[in-house]
Amino acid sequence: MPAHHRPGPAGPVLRTLPAALTTLLTVLALLFALPATARAVTPATGPAHPGPAHPGRDWMGSTVRAHEGGGRGGPAPAPLASVEGVDVSSHNGNVPWSALYSSGVRFSWAKATEGTSYTNPYFTQQYDGPYRAGMIRGAYHFALPDNSSGAAQAAYFATHGGGWSADGRTLPGVLDMEYNPYGNVCYGMNAGQLTHWMADFFAAYRARTGRDAVIYTTTGWWHRCTGDYTGFGSANPLWTARYGSSPGALPAGWGFHTVWQYTDSGPTVGDHDRFNGSYSRLKALANG
């Protein structure tokens, strides 16, 4: 038998097996003990956002139920003149737009930005997807008033997906003003400071795009954080959030709502909305 095939003494080999098995089991235990975030997969549509860590509660309406409650069921029967829509952000991932269109959804707003450092890694799929499916689409900005000026955030938003084009199928941008998910619900600012910040945002957005931005908010937040300010109702369309059978009392300054977010637990994607008017009026909003 050739020397290189000759078996060696069994003792040393057998004595090393328990140590090797112990080492292997230790490595496996450490791997399974790692936090889930350490094993997370980066979304296929883009890299993780470049901004600060997010708590996972930073999409439109993410703070509403905790502060204002609301039912889980759908709203009352739709009026004759209304259009079904949805709003989405990175927590929805890649959205099946053709399925939503088949279910009757005709418009969508996707989160584009937050503050001046975050961009939604799924924005391209969530902004172009509904357009290709035949919907009217738009983008929204999650406000961080304690982070930077309104003008700075409007510029960041307009540059990173929040612009507007007169193609008949692009809605004006939305400013999402709701309870701060990171700390003090009014961002540590008083009513005058907050309304000045919003006016700064609206003026800069209009100068950049030629359109008045829509504002998303709730009556409760508006009362608590702006002191029932009435100065925006004549120019900025209202998107109100209330999870129940009707939009309820509106924030001060508006006599009617343009969009109503009526649930955060709808089919396919949680956040469902109704445009307060016919499809032709929705197109008119897109056309400016």
Active centre residues (catalytic): 87, 176, 178
Determine contact, residues 115/122, Cβ cutoff 8 Å: no
Helices (H), the chain: 10-33, 64-68, 97-102, 123-133, 150-157, 191-209, 219-226, 279-287
Phi and psi (nearest 5°) for 176? -90, 105
Rounded Cα distance, 119 and 113, in Å? 5
Place of tokens 């069994």: 10
**Pairing label, strands 272-275, 83-88:** antiparallel
Distance CA 29, CA 16 (A): 20
- Please name the residues in contact with 134: beta carbons below 8 A apart, sequence gap of 6 or more: 101
The separation between CA 215 and the C-alpha centre of its own chain, rounded to angstroms, equals 14
Rounded to whole angstroms, the Cα distance separating 205 from 154 reads 5
* Closest C-alpha among 115, 114, 85, 89 to residue 100: 85
* Rounded CA separation 52/245 (Å): 37
**Nearest in space to 274 (alpha carbons), one of 107, 122, 61, 133:** 107
Q: Name which of 113, 74, 78, 95 is nearest 244 in CA terms.
A: 74
